[in-house]
Amino acid sequence: MGRKKEKGSGIKKYYYTFSLKVDHPDVDHKMIQNKIYQYYKSFYILHDKDINKETGEVKDPHYHYWVEFKNPRSLNSVAKELNIKSNMLLIVENKRAMLEYFIHANNPDKAQYSVDDVVSNGADYKKEILYKTKRDILQEWDDYVAVMEGRLHPRDYLYKYQYILCDITNYSRK
């Protein structure tokens, strides 16, 4: 009998994210930071001001990481390269929304972080959250058409592209 293939292990993507507590016993943050800093386009931020809404206490400090590869990679290969478990990784479907989440740009109820808190390996974080790639634009258009054709619920479109609402809100205030 063949080995069962893990769900999503054959899917290859360019963008991955993961979040790890600072004091996670199985994680070497310095190794991860050095590796992604040297070899991949990457950003990370320490969230140490987040508040637990239920208790009102500060959450355990944790890092959010975002990594972009030149060639698509499988979830399992990324996990192996970074020496973390594959269930700690998430495929990024919306690059801009993920990067905006680092500073809680569209979430004023959460602790706000400065763009200066984001560590990168030479990539311009500010430019990344403002710039749309051709792939981003085409995906956004495809999703819009899917809404118009009834294949995608408008709520799902707005959830995926919530930054559009912020742009519209900011524009209408001017």
Same domain, 89 and 67: yes
Give the range of the structural domain holding residue 139, as residue numbers without chain letter. Answer: 132-174
Same domain, 91 and 31: yes
Which ranges of 48-133 would DSSP assign to H, the alpha helix? 75-82, 95-102, 125-130
The two structure tokens encoding residue 119:
């560590």
DSSP 68: E
Same domain, 95 and 126: yes
Number of domains forming the structure of the chain = 2
Residue 35, pLDDT score: 85
CATH number of 16's domain: 3.40.1310.30
Same domain, 104 and 171: no
Same domain, 75 and 86: yes
Same domain, 84 and 103: yes
Same domain, 61 and 26: yes
Distance CA 90, CA 84 (A): 12
Contacts of 125 (CB under 8 A, 6+ apart): 43, 99, 102, 115, 118
DSSP 49: -
Same domain, 139 and 152: yes
Same domain, 119 and 42: yes
* Tens-digit pLDDT string for the chain (174 aa): 444 444 555 788 999 999 999 998 888 888 888 888 887 889 999 999 999 989 999 999 999 999 998 889 999 999 998 889 999 999 998 888 888 899 998 788 899 999 899 999 888 888 887 766 666 778 888 888 999 999 999 888 877 776 555 443 443 333
Supply the DSSP string of 42-80, one letter for each residue.
EEEEEE---B-TTT-SBPPPEEEEEEEEEEEEEHHHHHH
Same domain, 118 and 170: no
Same domain, 90 and 27: yes
Residue 97, pLDDT score: 85
Q: Which of 83, 72, 63, 9 is nearest to 40 (CA)?
A: 72
pTM value?
0.70
Same domain, 118 and 139: no
